[in-house]
Amino acid sequence: MSRPEPTWQTSKERKKSKGDQKFESQRDRTDSKDEDELGHLDEDGKHEHFDPNEMRSHVSDGDEHPSSSAPCRRIYDVRMAVVGNVDSGKSTLIGSMISGKLDDGRGLSRSKVFLHQHEAASGRTSCISQHIMGFDTQHKAVHQPVAASASSAAKNKSWKEVVSASRSIMTFIDLAGHEKYLKTTIAGLTGCFPDYALIIINSLAGVTKMTREHLGVSLALDIPLICIITKIDLAPENVLSRTKSQLTKILKSQAAKNKVPLLIRGQEDIQTALKDTSGKVVPIFLVSCVSGANLPLLLDFLSFLKPRRAWGKQAREQAMVAALQMEHAHDQAAASSSASSSSSSSSSSTKDQSSASPQAPSPSSSEASTPTSSTRALPEQGGDQQRHPSTPPHAAKADAKMVTDQESKVEDEEFKGHQQADLEPAEFHVDETFNVSGVGVVISGTVASGVIRINSHLLLGPYPDNTFKEVVVRSLQCKRVSVEECHAGDSCAMSLRMSHKRKDKDALSRASIRRGMVLVDPAVKPKGVRAFEAEVHVLHHPTTIKLHYQAVIHCGILRQTACIYHIDKDCLRTGDHALVRFRFMLRHEWLHAGSTFIFREGNTKGIGRIVRLIDDEEYEASMQGRQAPVPVEQGREVEAEGHGAKPRAEEHHKPPLSAS
């Protein structure tokens, strides 16, 4: 998924290809040419000459050359998944916010975000990349102007400066918007563990099919939403009004869990959105990366956000509560629909009587158009770029100070929640693997629970034979900064070695480690599973789902094809709930009861929650006298394997069963 390139410095640095060198030189020339033409974002969203010395003022002078191992300092790391349709301006918005520079309308900002040359040529993101910026104790932005395609040394220095000068880190997860990269986007939403989802909508195109798809996945995963309408400097007033109406209608619908859209026009609206802790209110921003309209307002709002994702056992308990709430809401919707259908006959019988009776006077147009406070209609564009007229400047500052005081009081309580996850056994989810010259095997991923320290002895697996091998952590890095330990919720990279010398030299090679494997504490005595029972809810399917239906399972970082071998109903259709049993087609995986997953076949099909795990003995006993599901077709198996692995030929001697 994401590729946080390992930053260990060796004498033999990796050479860049000629294409990458050309791309980097062109980007550097573009930056030097447009540095005087473009403006830095000031508090009023106007152009201001960018001063490099002003950027250095955000960085403490005493940390120009940090030590090899930084002290353990807990800071907020807010993960923000940026999703939306292709050409909606996701990468441009990220580039403008992290660098502090406005876009020139020709791709300057997004050139600082793209990792590959083909992305710069096409202007479309094809992979998952992470970019950071910070906020200090005064909620002022600490920008990171170094491009993602720059050298490792330049990125190391810039990231270390941001971490040292910030109280909270905002990690933007740039996801692909094209339909052919949907599996990559879903993998980022499930495997990168975002705290919020930024839904980017192009004001000219409106809410498209892929926007609805990304919105549905975010709602299914219960990720709080923040909507941003971009390119408002290009959209006519009627087109912008139509886009806002589309978005408002979707958010208020029952499919979106009856969200309350709130257009952010000033500090008063920011405080209203921050007071909502249930995720019911969806803030909506109207921004332009070229003119800078409302970008300072967006950064001001982001500076007050705190991590919302729980870790360890608390995360699984919250997932179970969310699943019960979803099921209860579905039951209420079914009951209300049946009640409305029964009352329709009685209402039709009284229709003639009501038409004969004198009608009450209709309210005036001004009274009829007055919305309630909870469902305030989106205003027109005229008052969007200025502070709310009902909010005096001194009142806005007082509200901001009140929020700051409240944050200082609850800060320790929030860290206590992380400390509870730190007391659990260590668990680390492997995302990417690297082979660094002079260092060896390096893995990157996320700490799901516990604390991982240097020289910790952990078990790595499950391997194809469902075994775990003991390894030792040699070094740790978090946000490109060397640390002594990593806690629950931290994204980090680490170098590994075997706990003892083995005759098998390939035991810890990069080829033997895949995405989806875990590092766990030996006290857990881990064991992988291939079957599990889950409660599922079908979001959309054109026909029916029956036995032997095969779909790709996205559960956290893992992605593998699974087959349904038991359903408590004859078949499943759109909107149905059922208790089903899945079995992975390729290998064992490390799972937890209570985890949330998404299953898809092309587009998203449904969401589920793991009720219990089924070991191999129970599965074999249940399948006695029944035909076991056959492996998937070759193309889908390669997709599930990942890392370019080839499917095993002996598993394709039977044709796959087609789903109904």
Owning domain of residue 88: 78-303
Residue whose C-alpha is closest to residue 119's, from 149, 93, 98? 149
Instruction: Check whether residue 92 and residue 241 sit in a common domain.
Output: yes
d(CA 600, CA 590): 20
* Contact (CB, 8 A) for 282 and 227: yes
Q: What pLDDT is attached to residue 135?
A: 96
The three state secondary structure string of 477-513 is: EECCEEECEECCCCEEEEEEEECCCCCCHHHHCHHHC
Question: Which two three-digit tokens encode residue 187?
Answer: 């993998």
Lowest model confidence (mean pLDDT) among 17-21, 131-135, 370-374: 370-374
Considering the domain boundaries, does residue 404 fall inside one?
A: no
pLDDT in tens, 619-637: 999 888 665 555 544 333 3
Instruction: Check whether residue 515 and residue 574 sit in a common domain.
Output: no
Residue whose C-alpha is closest to residue 170's, from 300, 9, 29? 300
Lowest model confidence (mean pLDDT) among 127-136, 383-392, 474-483: 383-392
Q: State the pLDDT confidence band at 593, using cuts at 50, 70 and 90.
A: very high
d(CA 219, CA 322): 11
Q: State the pLDDT confidence band at 403, using cuts at 50, 70 and 90.
A: very low
Instruction: Check whether residue 434 and residue 568 sit in a common domain.
Output: no
Number of domains composing the chain: 3
Residue 377 has pLDDT above 80, yes or no: no
Averaged pLDDT, 151-172:
93
d(CA 455, CA 435): 20
As to burial, measured by CB atoms within 10 angstroms (0-12 exposed, 13-18 middle, 19+ buried), residue 205 is middle
Instruction: Check whether residue 535 and residue 518 sit in a common domain.
Output: no
d(CA 558, CA 611): 18
d(CA 521, CA 516): 16
Q: What pLDDT is attached to residue 655?
A: 42
Lowest model confidence (mean pLDDT) among 4-13, 112-121, 484-493, 597-606: 4-13
Considering the domain boundaries, does residue 379 fall inside one?
A: no
- 361: helix, strand or coil: coil
Residue 100 has pLDDT above 90, yes or no: yes
Q: What pLDDT is attached to residue 560?
A: 96
Say whether pTM exceeds 0.85.
Answer: no
Residue whose C-alpha is closest to residue 228's, from 417, 390, 80, 416? 80
pLDDT in tens, 207-235: 999 999 999 999 999 999 999 999 999 99
Residue 642 has pLDDT above 60, yes or no: no
Residue 92 has pLDDT above 90, yes or no: yes
For the stretch 107-142, what's the b/e string if a residue is b when 16 or more beta carbons lie within 10 angstroms of its beta carbon?
bbbbbbbbbbbebbeeebbbbbbbbbbbbeeebbbb
Instruction: Check whether residue 102 and residue 189 sit in a common domain.
Output: yes
Q: What pLDDT is attached to residue 656?
A: 41
- 52: which residues sit within 8 A by CB, 6+ positions away? none
Considering the domain boundaries, does residue 91 fall inside one?
A: yes
Residue 203 has pLDDT above 80, yes or no: yes
Query: H or E stretch including 338?
Result: helix 313-349
Q: What is the CATH number of the domain that holds 626?
A: 2.40.30.10
Q: Identity (one letter) of the amino acid at 418?
A: H
- Compute φ and ψ for 21, nearest 5 degrees: -65, -40
* Contact (CB, 8 A) for 524 and 499: no
Q: State the pLDDT confidence band at 36, using cuts at 50, 70 and 90.
A: very low
Instruction: Check whether residue 187 and residue 85 sit in a common domain.
Output: yes
Q: What pLDDT is attached to residue 389?
A: 36
d(CA 248, CA 519): 44
Look over the chain and give the mean of its residue pLDDT values, rounded to a whole number.
Answer: 76
d(CA 130, CA 4): 7
- 587: which residues sit within 8 A by CB, 6+ positions away? 462, 464, 528, 530, 560
Averaged pLDDT, 442-464:
94
Query: H or E stretch including 458?
Result: strand 457-461
Averaged pLDDT, 505-521:
86
Q: What pLDDT is attached to residue 323?
A: 56
Considering the domain boundaries, does residue 361 fall inside one?
A: no
Q: What pLDDT is attached to residue 23?
A: 44
Most confident among 77-91, 105-119, 646-660 (mean pLDDT) = 77-91
Residue whose C-alpha is closest to residue 616's, from 548, 527, 549, 547? 527
Write down which residue in 472, 498, 524 finishes a domain. 524
d(CA 5, CA 383): 44
d(CA 340, CA 289): 47
Instruction: Check whether residue 148 and residue 197 sit in a common domain.
Output: yes
* Contact (CB, 8 A) for 488 and 431: no
Q: What pLDDT is attached to residue 393?
A: 43
Residue 502 has pLDDT above 50, yes or no: yes
What are the counts of helices (DSSP H) followed by strands (DSSP E) for the chain?
A: 17, 23
Q: What pLDDT is attached to residue 501?
A: 65
Residue 500 has pLDDT above 70, yes or no: yes
Instruction: Check whether residue 250 and residue 271 sit in a common domain.
Output: yes
Residue 336 has pLDDT above 70, yes or no: no
d(CA 83, CA 604): 15
Q: What pLDDT is attached to residue 62?
A: 35
Write down which residue in 279, 303, 327 finishes a domain. 303
Considering the domain boundaries, does residue 270 fall inside one?
A: yes
Question: Which two three-digit tokens encode residue 45?
Answer: 């969203």
Instruction: Check whether residue 226 and residue 135 sit in a common domain.
Output: yes
Q: What pLDDT is attached to residue 131?
A: 95
- 303: which residues sit within 8 A by CB, 6+ positions away? 135, 139, 140, 141, 168
Query: Bigger pLDDT: 645 or 147?
Result: 147
Most confident among 20-34, 333-347, 388-402 (mean pLDDT) = 333-347
Q: What is the CATH number of the domain that holds 205?
A: 3.40.50.300
- 347: helix, strand or coil: helix
Query: H or E stretch including 130?
Result: strand 129-135
Residue 198 has pLDDT above 50, yes or no: yes
Q: What pLDDT is attached to residue 345?
A: 44
Considering the domain boundaries, does residue 580 fall inside one?
A: yes
Lowest model confidence (mean pLDDT) among 53-62, 109-118, 163-172, 563-572: 53-62
> For residue 628, how far is the Cα from the chain centroid?
36
Considering the domain boundaries, does residue 608 fall inside one?
A: yes
Where are the alpha helices (H) located in 350-429, listed in sequence order?
Answer: 351-356, 365-368, 393-422
Instruction: Check whether residue 123 and residue 231 sit in a common domain.
Output: yes
Q: What pLDDT is attached to residue 103?
A: 94
Question: Which two three-digit tokens encode residue 88?
Answer: 């909606």
Instruction: Check whether residue 508 and residue 568 sit in a common domain.
Output: no
Residue 440 has pLDDT above 80, yes or no: yes
Share of the chain above pLDDT 90, in %: 54
Write down which residue in 303, 329, 356 finishes a domain. 303
Instruction: Check whether residue 504 and residue 589 sit in a common domain.
Output: no
Query: Bigger pLDDT: 369 or 255?
Result: 255
Considering the domain boundaries, does residue 647 fall inside one?
A: yes
Cα end-to-end distance, the chain, whole Å: 32
Tell me the C-alpha to C-alpha distance, in Å, between residue 330 and each of 333, 538, 544. Answer: 5, 12, 19
State the DSSP string of 213-263. HHHHHHHHTT--EEEEEE-TTTS-HHHHHHHHHHHHHHHHSTTTTS-EEEE
d(CA 557, CA 516): 5
pLDDT in tens, 102-155: 999 999 999 999 988 888 888 888 899 999 999 999 999 999 999 988 988 999
Residue 556 has pLDDT above 80, yes or no: yes
Supply the Cα-derived Rg of the chain in whole angstroms: 26
Q: What pLDDT is attached to residue 344?
A: 47
**How many residues are listed for the chain in this entry?**
660
Residue 549 has pLDDT above 70, yes or no: yes
pLDDT in tens, 273-306: 999 988 899 999 999 999 999 999 999 999 999 9
